[in-house]
Structure formats: structure tokens, C-alpha cells
Structure 1
Amino acid sequence: MTTRISEKAANVFDKLAQGAFSIGVELPLDNDWARYDSAQGAPFGVPDMSKHHERIQLADQLGFKAAWVRDVPIYDPNFGDAAQVFETFSYLGYLAAITKNILLGTAAVVLPLRQPWLVKKAAATVQKLSNNRLILGVASGDRPVEYPLFDVDYETRGEKFRQSLSILQEGEASLSHGMDLLPASPQPPLYVAGLAQQSPEWVGEHMDGWLAYPGTPRDHVQRVQLWRNIAGDKPYVSFIHLNLLANDDAPITRHRFGVETGVKGLISELNAMREAGVDHIGLHFRRNSLSVEETMQRIADKVLPHFHQ
């Protein structure tokens, strides 16, 4: 099945879709996985957020295209990942106020655990405050322990996802005469993480972009082809868990969800991603051995000029 949509994305406010291959960052901007020491007593996966303000502003100033935030309501030590700690939409409002150009994406809001009208209003608020920089990534979720806390059935999360999405996309049609949802702002582009318990064809028809799980360039070749078959040229986004080494010539060593390498290896990996058909890569620094500031500066100086116009 090939979608009828031939534009880069159906949503004209999708600023990510309007450019060529680009590089962003995944929050939190911390390297807590590399620094983790159980003797210090802090739980694994809980980042140090003390420098988050300065680091997101640096990412914005250096020209990274997008900043992606997670939606993790409850920290579960079995998963070992607290994401960026702060509640997603509250944090996005804060980020909108302290940045100027960087796009703000969610990867991804777990729709079955949230009231859809409040998601719609929160997204409209962030879109308005950020001057239309929001990309609303959504998902059905994958942490079963959270669902009983929200009184939501894990097994029917796919159906609840579809119901919530219909409100995000067409909810105004159900409002009585004179009612409206404020603030008035363009609907942000809607990307989906994975398949959200839906068929590929359904996802390709209803979503503006795909947030694909990390993988090798070879992995992405097959996934991109599937996406192009069902969604045309809508954006395909993925992520790399990066450990950028001080030696620019250090070869690529692969680890789960990413690579350890120098600047030249990173350029090679990103070129391979672009050739595979990936439109955007978010860089994840939590296992990075160098400081986040030094890493972002090195990438801005030596890597971004190869890809950003």
C-alpha cells in the first residue's frame, strides 16, 4: 500500500520536514550512565539536572535541529531510566521560554495514560509559546507497571491510543456551538514511536512522521523502505546512543542502540544513516565519557557543518 501523500509531510507546520537530513539531541543532556557509581547511592538512570538550563541553551546556540524529551511518569528501577525527570509538558513550556530556534519534540507522550483533551490543550499551549516549534511524538507505551497506577488496562492500550489520537486530530468537531479549545494555535505534527499497537498501514495513513527505535544503518534500510511504502516522504526519525571519543580517528565500536567512535566515525555513521533514508537523528549522550559541553561543541565544530546548511 502506498499513501497518496507525496509531500514531505502533510502538516505544513512540520518544520523538521521542511529541511534536509538533520541532527538533534535527546534529553536529558547528561552523561549519567557513564558516570554511574553505585557507591554514591544515587539510583541508576536518574540524571543530574543541575546544568539542564545551560546545556539546552548551548544546544540551541550551536545549531542542533531538535531537542527530544521523554514521557516517563514513574521511575521504575527495573527499567533504569528516569528520562529527563521533569513532567513532559511542563518542561516543554520551560524550554520554549529559554530557547529560540531548536525544535521541541516528544519521544513520546504515552497517550493511554493521559486525558486526551488535556494533551491537546497542553500541546496547543507549547505550540503557541514556542512559535510553532513543537513536534508531538505519541506512543501507546511499553512499561506495564505504570498502567494499574493510572487505572488503565495494558492490553487495550492500542484501542485507547486510537481514541485519543482522534481527539487530537479532530476533537473540535465534537464541541458544541460556541465552544473552543484555547489557545488557538496550529496543530503540531504528530509522530508515532514504533507502531503503537497498530498496523503499519494505519500508522502510515494517520501519522505525520515515525520515531523509529535505534538501530544500525543496515537495520534502518529495511525500516525506511517499509515507511516509504506506507507513508511516502513523511519524516523518518531515529536516535543514536553515542560515546564520542577524544581521538577523532577512533574507529566505530557498536553497542546496544549506538556507537563509540571519534568524530570521523560519527560522520561516517551519520552519512550511512542519511543514505539509508533516515531524515533526522537525535544524539543521546548518557553513556558519553567526555563532558556533554565538550561533546556538543566538538560535534558543532566538526560534524554539523557536513550535514546542516
Structure 2
Amino acid sequence: MNNLPTSFTNVFADNKLTLGLLTPLEAYPSSPFPTLNADIATAKQAEQAGIASIWFRDVPFYDPNFGDAAQMLDPFTYAGFIAAHTNTITLGTAGAVLPLRDPIMVAKQAASVDHLSNGRFVLGVSTGDRPVEYPAFGVDFNARAERYRESVEIIKTLHQQSFPKHLSQHYGELDGSLDLYPKPVNQQIPVMAVGRSRQSFEWLANNVNAWIWAVDNEQAISEIINNLSIASNSNTSPHYGYATFFDLDKNPDAPYQRFYNVVRIGRNALIERLLKHRELGVKHIALNLKPSQRAAQDVIDELGNFVIPALEKEQREPAV
């Protein structure tokens, strides 16, 4: 996990905690469908505010039982579009549903976005959270863990080797006569697991560069990070972060509250919570603004004016 590009290290770094946004970049608490009316302006605003990343979700279908269509657009297409309107912010998928996609095409799409963004791309990969999609693709839901592992191996092989040879169980064969272009800008694209994807700590610890889950319980965070460290075969283990549905209260002194999977909190309690999670080893938090009672632009302004500066101050001036 050495020599990773700045697209990754700007988001995941030792003794630092950063914030990212999950698409769509708007609040839409009363509808499963966003408007996407201000995505370019909001992406630029997020970059200017010091938000470290924008994560593009992969939701092929609208499932009424789930109640959220995400950003509706294909994540790689959307990431390429936003890349053209931003300069420094890291872009990534969170996550591409690998068992439902051909890994060769994912490797091609990821490398393409990496070039369009000048090396700012991180490939987040998952098995998805909507089992109903699997029959539509004719894919065995029970084979998703194996397909996921094979896909990660194929993608890395295509990105990092020339004219590779590779034989897989669920996909095709590379016999050394073909090579995938373009290669990543920085010789590799960091891979981030999104969700557990039915993988062991041992596999996660030794095959991905970072892991974003939904677990933000402080005791559980400590156990996860410790388990990753124990399972790693090298001196480093994947950086851990989590994603959460987020509602920043207008009252800066509002306490932490949780409503099922939604965190509602004022900025002062948020800063305290983030600093505590940083000390536990959390490196990144991806915020989903769908349930926000405030406009995304107002939330980003407050994060940029108060929360991110407080984190950066603490990170510049560690406690002695």
C-alpha cells in the first residue's frame, strides 16, 4: 500500500480525518428522486470548502421498497462529468456493484475516469445493498462474494500488468495476447471496499487500500481497526472510514441524535464527535445529505467555515 497517489492520500492519511460527500449533492428528504439541478455548482462549492471527496453511488434500478434512487446516473459517466468541472477534489465510486458488472469494463471505465480527472479517481467496490437487482442481471446472488473477489483481482491485473495472463472461474480468460489501455495515471488506482461484501477481515486487510462501512459505533470502530491490523500481512492495513445519512442541525449546540440510520447533530457536538473518532483511527467519513432538512449548500458552507477548520487546527496542533 505504499506510493499511493494523492487522490487517495488526500482522503486517507495517518493522524487525519477528512470529510466526503455521497452523491447526489443535495437534500431530498421527501422524495426518492433528486433533482440534480445544482450538481456542478455544488461540486465546486464542496471543493472550495475543503471537502476531500465526492463518492458516486451505483444503483442500477429504482426499488420502491428501498425508497432511494441515488443520483440515478451511471457513476462512471457522472464522475467523468464532474471531473471536467473540478480541479483537486478526489472522485470515486461508493461503490461499483462488481458482481453485476463485467470487471474488464470496470477496469476500462475506472482508468478512463482516472485520466479525465488527471489521476483523482479511487475505485470503491461493493456487492450492492439491493438483492432484488441480481435476478434482473441473471446473476446468482449466492455467488456474489466469489465474483467480487475475482473482479478485484482482474481489475488490478489489468491496471498493473502488461499483456497479462489470468484465468477466472466466473469471468473470462486473459491469455497474454491483449492489453488494456489506458493504464492508470499513477500506475494504479486505489481500491476501496464499500460495505462488508461478505469478505473476511483477512481478505479485506490484504486486498484493498481502504474500507468504508456503515459502522460508526465507537466500540465497534476500535474492534474493526484492531481486527484489520491483526489480519494484515504487511506493516500497514486498510484505512477505515464510514458512511452515514446526515442532517446538520441549524442550532450549533444541538446534541447528537440518531434516528434509525440518520445522524442529526449540531456543529459543536459534530466537531467533538469527529475528533473522538479520529483518535480511534477513523480516517474518512462520507456524508449522505438525502435526509437533510437544510439545503446542501448551507450544510457545505457550515462544514467549510467551522467544522473542517476545527479538524485541521487540531491536526496541525496535536495534543501533548
**Fold shared, TM-score > 0.5 on shorter chain:** yes
Q: Distance in 2 between matches of 1:125 and 1:98?
A: 16
User: Which segment drifts farther, 169-178 or 241-250?
Assistant: 169-178
Q: Distance in 1 between matches of 2:262 and 2:223?
A: 18
Q: Distance in 2 between matches of 1:77 and 1:258?
A: 19
Q: Distance in 1 between matches of 2:2 and 2:230?
A: 16
Deviation (angstroms), 1:224: 2.1
Tell me, what secondary structure is at the counterpart of 2:192?
Answer: strand
- Percent identity, aligned pairs only, is 35
Tell me, what secondary structure is at the counterpart of 1:82?
Answer: coil
User: Which segment drifts farther, 61-70 or 228-237?
Assistant: 228-237
CA contact (8 A) 1:215 1:257 kept: no
Deviation (angstroms), 1:259: 2.1
CA contact (8 A) 1:216 1:258 kept: no
Tell me, what secondary structure is at the counterpart of 2:242?
Answer: strand
The equivalent of 1:257 in structure 2 is: 261
CA contact (8 A) 1:218 1:276 kept: no
Tell me, what secondary structure is at the counterpart of 2:282?
Answer: coil
Q: Distance in 1 between matches of 2:262 and 2:120?
A: 27
How many pairs are equivalent? Answer: 292
- Which protein, 1 or 2, shows the higher relative CO under an 8 Å CA cutoff with sep ≥ 6? 1
Structure 1: which 5+ residue stretches go unaligned? 1-8, 37-43
Tell me, what secondary structure is at the counterpart of 1:279?
Answer: strand
CA contact (8 A) 2:23 2:54 kept: yes
TM-score normalised by L of structure 1 = 0.89
Instruction: Pick from 61, 80, 89 the counterpart of residue 93 of structure 1.
Output: 80
Instruction: Pick from 125, 131, 151 the counterpart of residue 138 of structure 1.
Output: 125
State how 1:43-122 maps to structure 2 within 5 Å: 44-122=31-109
Deviation (angstroms), 1:176: 5.3
User: Which segment drifts farther, 260-269 or 194-203?
Assistant: 194-203
Q: Distance in 2 between matches of 1:100 and 1:78?
A: 38
Q: Distance in 1 between matches of 2:45 and 2:290?
A: 17
State how 1:120-269 maps to structure 2 within 5 Å: 120-171=107-158, 172=161, 173-174=164-165, 175=174, 179-185=178-184, 186-231=187-232, 232-269=236-273
Q: Distance in 2 between matches of 1:88 and 1:76?
A: 17
Matched, 1:287 2:291: yes
- How well do the aligned residues superpose, as a CA RMSD in angstroms? 1.8
The equivalent of 2:4 in structure 1 is: 12
Measured at CA, do residues 148 and 10 of structure 1 come closer, stay the same or move farther in structure 2, by a change above 3 Å? Answer: farther
Tell me, what secondary structure is at the counterpart of 2:84?
Answer: helix
The equivalent of 1:22 in structure 2 is: 18
Q: Distance in 2 between matches of 1:142 and 1:281?
A: 19
Q: Distance in 2 between matches of 1:75 and 1:166?
A: 29
Q: Distance in 1 between matches of 2:301 and 2:76?
A: 28
The equivalent of 1:303 in structure 2 is: 307
The equivalent of 1:6 in structure 2 is: none
Q: Distance in 2 between matches of 1:220 and 1:258?
A: 18
Q: Distance in 1 between matches of 2:246 and 2:12?
A: 24
What CA deviation, in whole Å up to 9, does each residue of 1:75-118 have, x standing for no partner? 10111111111101111111111111111121111101001100
What CA deviation, in whole Å up to 9, does each residue of 1:150-201 have, x standing for no partner? 1111111111112211111113422555632111323210111233222211
Structure 2: which 5+ residue stretches go unaligned? 166-173
Q: Distance in 2 between matches of 1:282 and 1:143?
A: 20
Q: Distance in 2 between matches of 1:23 and 1:305?
A: 12
